[in-house]
Amino acid sequence: MPQLRKDPVAKRWVIILHEQDNKPEDLIIPPAPKQVSVCPFCEGNEPMTTPEVMSYRKQGTLPNEAGWEVRVVPNKFPALQIEGELDRAGIGVYDMMNGVGAHEVIIESPIHNANFDTYSEEHVALILTAYADRYKDLRRDRRFRYILIFKNSGAAAGASLDHPHSQLIATPIVPKRAMEELEGAKNYYYYKERCVFCDIIRQEIAQGERIVYENENFVAFTPFASRFPFETWIAPKDHKDSFGDIEEREIKGLAETLKAVIMKLNVTLKNPPFNYVIHTSPCGDQAADYYHWHIEIMPRLSKIKAFEWGSGFYINPITPEKAASYLLNAKTQE
């Protein structure tokens, strides 16, 4: 019989088809053929992008020229615009404001076909440092309430370019998904006077059956109420509400964990399209006691259909325990 599981944070229910004997190969989506064209993100094509906001580059090289390792540029077609004021307004029951925000692209490597299989841990740490540096800079802008950092890898995951990149969008409102987590975490804290994420992390480590990877500072696991097959979360073991407060010493441990998990997914699922999102507390929010930042990684192995859209339920065709076992035992080349 299928099993209903409840997420203890967002109070979301998930249907787990635990009796189906699905294996990773049953869920793999064949990759779409790649379109070859001139890539604006490749080294040497810097004039094809907007002027860079920041970059980490070789000594003696100049901005907007070759010689960089990680480069951040404003999105050429931004979802939100950095200039202007919000000018909040209402028309009857409808609220609106100007689309003010920031939309940036973190170009992860000058090499077009680079990926987590080819990145060194030091390079992953450099990418994460770029995330943190841009987060810390943008949260000083009082117009912004939330900063979302995410990666779309593969066309099926929403990537419009093959070249490895991540994105950052700063918004003047807190997104609905973040609000659900914040409210759930706050309610749990007021009831038990503990962080729900800390309790989850302690229980996952104690039980061990959904652990994918662990080091001194971070743990990766398949969540109990996984929405998607092979969904994996990475969380710091120490309580911290904002990704923007990550310390230099922690970035090394996060880079090791993120690279290890994505390589395990690549081996197990034959380089699947995936998304990852950094979940963090809002800018300037007093959520230090009850929220816990983390990364959610979601391989794109299934499509959301009418039932999911209409009901809010997700249907996962493989148990998180089985998924964790496959990932834990994946043989990766370091």
Which residue numbers are catalytic? Answer: 165
- Separation of alpha carbons 76 and 110, rounded Å: 18
Chain centroid offset of residue 314 CA: 19
Strand boundaries in the chain, DSSP class E: 3-6, 13-16, 54-57, 68-74, 89-91, 94-96, 102-107, 146-153, 165-171, 211-214, 218-221, 232-236, 274-279, 294-299, 314-316
Q: Which residue carries 């990145």 as its tokens?
A: 119
SS3 content of the chain, % helix, strand, coil (to 5): 30, 25, 50
Contact between 174 and 182 (Cβ < 8 Å): yes
Token pair recorded at residue 59 = 């000594």
- DSSP 3-state of 148: strand
- Separation of alpha carbons 77 and 97, rounded Å: 19
Would you give the DSSP letter of residue 229?
T
